[in-house]
Structure formats: structure tokens, C-alpha cells
Amino acid sequence: APLERIEERSVGPTLGKDSVQKGLKAGIFGLAAALLFMLFYYRLPGLIADFSLCLYALFVFAIFKGVPVTLTLPGIAGFILSIGMAIDANILIFERLKEELRTDKTIKAAIDAGFKRAFSSILDSNVTTLISAAVLFYFGSGPIKGFALTLAIGVMVSLFTAITVTKTILHLIITPQMGKAWYLGASPRLPFMVRKNFNITGARRVWFAFSGALVIGGLLFLFPPSGLRHFPPPSGLHKGIDFTGGSLTQVKFKEKSSVRKLRGVLTGFGLQKSPIQMLSPREALIRTRELSPAEKNKVESAFAKEGGKIEKFESVGPVVGKELTMKAFWAVLWASVLIVIYLTFRFSQVRFGILAIVALLHDVLIVTSIFAILGKYLKVEIDSAFVAAMLTIIGYSVNDTVVIFDRLRENLKLKKPGETFEKMANFSLLQTFTRSLNTSLTTLCVIAAILLFAGPVLRYFA
């Protein structure tokens, strides 16, 4: 039987090289910003963490070389985001170390206790991220599989560098004679949030109202009321060819071009109504119905006569588009179910798993709703990278939630008579606030690097 093309993706050598260079540049700048933050905030332990992070990067690249892993842009993004996970492990350890140093423990005992207490949080948060990566690898297409693989490799290597390398160097460098000086990043004062004892859980009705307004407002864009008479209701998201099927052609000209000139070329093929986006005076992105190989060659020849060259061509059949929609649904569903099962096992209560899923669905709904708004007013399309971004958000959301739950579990064991669950939950939030803030800041450094330097392909992923 003759072979039938169901999907095609091709990138010209110039654009491909440029994209990879931009991705690597984003990785270098993101890593540099994160290293500087760790050094500034945690001082000597931060310097040690920076060294272990550099080792981490070398180990990961060595594994990439040995496997071997093809470095696509989504793959580079997976590596960049795994840097954030590696930094998070060190932040968890150092925040615990600072807590132990506020007690009467010796430095050696504080280091051991800090690592021991941080280990369960690091393990749980990394396992939930690995669950998301595994689901993404199973359901994803080629480039998304690369993202999942590099993320998973990075997370596993970060467990080794944070737990083994950082701890070993801390014990080798820091001696009892050094005392609890400023260069350890410790202070006898409690963290600001703990000192002020903000009643976060007491104001939960305010937070519920704020989040509820965001979610409901977003749902109105995500599922417009006019479409609710249908089942399932049509999504307000502006879907790219990965979901709808079709062809996407990026053309670069030697001289300035225009929408009118491009439309004139497309008219000869019955494609005059195709959306055209000018990326620059000499570069355009054209979305058409699915083009056959013969049609693509004819269009390419027509552009060549006008001084144009196809830099990137993607074609997805309608079957593949429908498949991706279903795979995205099942990926989110299976990731959620597996995370609930894991957290129920770890915390011995199903409510912890369910509450973690409620929190991550809240985050996913808000981000998805924002893209529905961007799609409506700015025509921002979602593609397979959007699915990867959603599963990354799931990983990070559960990561944060697990750290708080882990501290809550620890505090409940120390609960005194008369202390309520609400008080314990609030205290756990305050204790983990600095860690959550610092992790968010370092992750934002990495994401900002992707946004600024990785180019348009990963802009909306970031």
C-alpha cells in the first residue's frame, strides 16, 4: 500500500542553527542569573550550590552526548527548566540549614539535620515532576518527547548533585571554628513572614473570591456562553495547526515584501484567503489548508521566483490534529491521577492528593484562560508546546504544594493541645514562604531568559 503523509516538519539550516544558538544563549543567561542570585542571597552555601549546578550542567550534557539526545528547541527548554528544579533543591536545603542554625546545634549537626529534613520535600517534588515528564513522553510527539526526556534527565541528575555534591562540599569546607557568621547566610532573626505572623488562612475568603473571579472570568473567554448550547462546548482558544490540521509556511525574502504581494502569489493556488503574518519586512508566516508535497513544491517555486526561500514548513493532517487534542486531554488526566495516587501513598491521606490536584487545576485554568484572551484579541495560537507548558505548570504547581504539605505533616506531629489545623496550616505557609518566593524568582530568571533570547518559537511557551 502507498505511504500517506500524515505529518511533516522541516526547518532550513540557517533558521535551525539560529534557533539552537538562541536556545543555548537563553540557557547560559538563565543559568548565570540564577547563579548570581544564589551567591548573593545564600553567600558561601550559594557559592557551593553554584559549583554543584555547574557540575550538574556538565553531567547533563555528558548524558545528552551518550544517549544521544537530539537538541531541539523544546528539548533545550526542558533542560533550562530542569535548571530551575536543580536550584529549588538547593534552596530547600539552605532554608532548612538556616532554620537549624538558629537553634543550638553545631554547624555539622545543622548541615546533617537540614539535609535530612529537606530530603522528603525534594524527593516528593521531583517525583511529581518526573510523573509529568513520563506522561508527556508517552503522549507527546517527537519534539515534545525531547522536552520530556531532557526534563527527566535534568531532574534525576539534580537529585544527585543537590543531595551528594552540595552536602559533601559543605562538610569539607565548613568547620566548627567558622562559627555561624554572615557568610553562611544565616541570621538569628526569624524570617519576616514568620515574625509578623500574617494570618494567610484567616483571610481565605478573600483569596477564594479573588481566585474565583479570575477563574470564572477566564472560563467565560475559554467557553463563550454562545457556544454552551453545543456539547462539548467549543473552546475559545485559538488553535494552531497542531490541533486543527493544515500547513504553516515561514518564508524569507531577499528584499522587502508585503501581505498584498504574498496574497498575489497565493491566489494562483486558490489560497488567497489564507492568514498571513509579517514577522519582519522580509519575513512572513502563512497558514493554509494542508498542502500536499506536490502543492508545497509548486508554492516553493512561486516564492523562489519572487526572491523568497522557505525557512520552515510544517504540515499536519486532520487526523493528527484530533489525535493531539485527545492526547493533551489524556496527558493532563493521567498526570493528575498518578500524582493523586503518589501523594496519597506518601501522605497516607487521599485528601492531600485531591487538594494538590485542585490547586494545579486552578493554575492550569487561569493560564489557559489567559491564552483564550490572547487568542481572541491578539490571535495567539496554541500548539504542542502549549501542552508541554501546561504539564510543566502542573509539575511546578504540585512541587510548591508538596513542599507546603510536607511541612504541614511535620508540624502536625508537633501539634500541641488546643492548636487547630488552621493554625498549623498557616504556620506551615509562613515557614515555606521564603523558599517559595526564592524558587519563583530563580525560575523567573530562567523563564525570562527563554522569553528574551530563545526567539519566537518558545516565546509563548515561556
Condensed to tens digits (0 to 9), the pLDDT of residues 425-437 reads 888 888 888 888 8
pLDDT for res 345: 85
- Residue 225 confidence (pLDDT) above 80: no
pLDDT for res 231: 47
> Percentage of the chain surpassing pLDDT 70?
81
Give the residue extent of every domain in the chain: 13-189+436-458, 246-316
Q: Domain 13-189+436-458 belongs to what topology?
A: Multidrug efflux transporter AcrB transmembrane fold (1.20.1640)
Higher pLDDT, 384 or 342: 342
**Residue 379, burial from CB neighbour count under 10 angstroms (0-12, 13-18, 19+):** exposed
Tens of pLDDT, residue by residue over 117-134, are 888 888 888 888 888 888
Decide whether 13-189+436-458 matches 246-316 in CATH topology: no
Average pLDDT over residues 262-266: 86
Q: Indicate the pTM of the whole model.
A: 0.76
Do 26 and 452 meet the contact criterion of CB atoms below 8 Å apart? Answer: yes
The chain-wide mean pLDDT, for the chain, equals 78
Do 193 and 433 meet the contact criterion of CB atoms below 8 Å apart? Answer: yes
Do 365 and 407 meet the contact criterion of CB atoms below 8 Å apart? Answer: no
The residue among 127, 82, 138, 123 whose CA lies nearest residue 334 is 138
Average pLDDT over residues 412-426: 84
Tens of pLDDT, residue by residue over 3-45, are 555 566 665 555 556 666 776 677 778 778 888 888 888 888 8
pLDDT for res 181: 56
pLDDT for res 195: 62
- Residue 204 confidence (pLDDT) above 50: yes
Average pLDDT over residues 235-260: 81
**Residue 371 is which amino acid?**
F
CATH of domain 246-316: 3.30.70.3400
